[in-house]
Amino acid sequence: MISIVIPLYNVEGYILPCLKSIDKQTYRGFEVIIVNDGSTDSSLSIAESFSSSASFDIRIISQENQGVSKARNTGIENAKGEYLCFVDADDILASGYLETMLKALDEHRCDVCICNHEKISEECDVIDIPSAGTASEKVLNKHDALKLLLYGKIQAGIWALMTKKEILAELRFAEGYRYSEDLEMVWRIVATAEQVVAVNQPLYGYRVRSSSAMSIVDDRRMDGLKLFIALGDFLAEKDSDFHIAYEKYGVSRWVWSTLWQEAAAASGFKDFCLRTEKYHARQHIKKLLTYPAFKVKSTSLLYLLSKRCFYLSMSALGKRRRQFS
């Protein structure tokens, strides 16, 4: 059986499409654990109403507001399934989300499966994602999977992942952190697994919302920096060879990504400089001049040559992306 853990907090406009997309799953051997993290809107009542006539098992656990990490950890501790997935309450699933990943895990005898995702707009009410053709699958050992994460060849949130429950025996989401705690957990899960299978198919619909944590650029971002610095010690225990590459690029790659998000959010160049002082960016960006990806390497060089030009370029790119969304 698969346990689907859904943290619930003030998403009254989105939880119903999420649950409807789960109801359309072609694989039916699953349970849903909704952890209500102190919602103050009608999210809980909508979930309760849906569960009263649902065609699958739903358990709702309520707790005082303690953050998404605590909610997910509560879900882990109450899961009965052999496999776990983590779904955000404002997102939607392709009908083959569970079946495709479970089949890949069983056929290749892997511990973790990672699928592709597709971004959907804030207004989107589509409850399924068309997936053309047959998905290609690639089996990776832990070391190679970590390298693909490091070099941006795999871009997976915790929601694009299915894992054996035994992998989570000693792993929990970092509580008290407000940013990157889900991505850091992806790294820990992959580093604990022996074999990972990557499915090249968009099975998850990730909703882009202006109020989501990913869209907010403030002091919460420092939580992510702290987590990724501390992650190095964990990776050194799990794969000492990979740790060498992580020490060179891991935290610096996180800083690079945050810099362009700060550029998109800043009111001007002076504001951008003030926002980014805390990251000690220059020392990190220097490391990326030998990073394999041209986009990262070239924009890092631009930053070192002219911080203003970097800001203007990334700011313009960010605005275009927001307009497209």
Query: What string of DSSP letters covers 99-157?
Result: HHHHHHHHHHT-SEEEEEEEEE-TT---------SPPEEEEEEHHHHHHHHHTTS----
Residues 187 and 92 in one domain: yes
Q: Could you give the number of structural domains in the chain?
A: 2
Distance, CA of 33 to CA of 181 (rounded, Å) = 20
Share of the chain above pLDDT 70, in %: 91
Q: Token digits for 155?
A: 């871009």
Mean pLDDT of the chain: 91
* Whether residues 48 and 68 fall in one domain: yes
User: Residues 191, 224: one domain?
Assistant: no
Alpha carbon 171 to chain centroid distance?
A: 16
User: What is the tens place of the pLDDT at every residue in 121-180?
Assistant: 877 766 566 554 567 899 999 999 999 999 999 988 999 999 999 999 999 999 999 899
Q: What is the largest CA-CA distance in the chain?
A: 61
pLDDT score recorded for residue 212: 46
Token pair recorded at residue 247: 């020490």
Question: Taking the model in full, what pTM does it have?
Answer: 0.92
**Alpha carbons 228 and 181: distance in angstroms, whole number:** 9
Same domain membership, residue 121 and residue 29:
yes
* Structural domain containing residue 293: 215-324
- Cα distances from 313 to residues 3, 231, 256, in angstroms, run 43, 31, 14
The answer on 311 and 263 residing in a single domain is: yes
Q: What is the pLDDT of residues 60-105, one digit of tens each?
A: 999 999 999 999 999 999 999 999 999 999 999 999 999 999 999 9
pLDDT of residue 213: 44
Indicate whether 202 and 225 sit together in one domain.
no
CATH of residue 203's domain is 3.90.550.10
Is the Cα dihedral 161, 180, 21, 325 positive or negative?
Answer: negative
Long-range contacts of 280-287 (CB under 8 A, 24+ apart): 281/255, 284/251, 284/252, 284/255, 284/256, 285/252, 285/255, 285/256, 285/259, 287/248, 287/249, 287/252
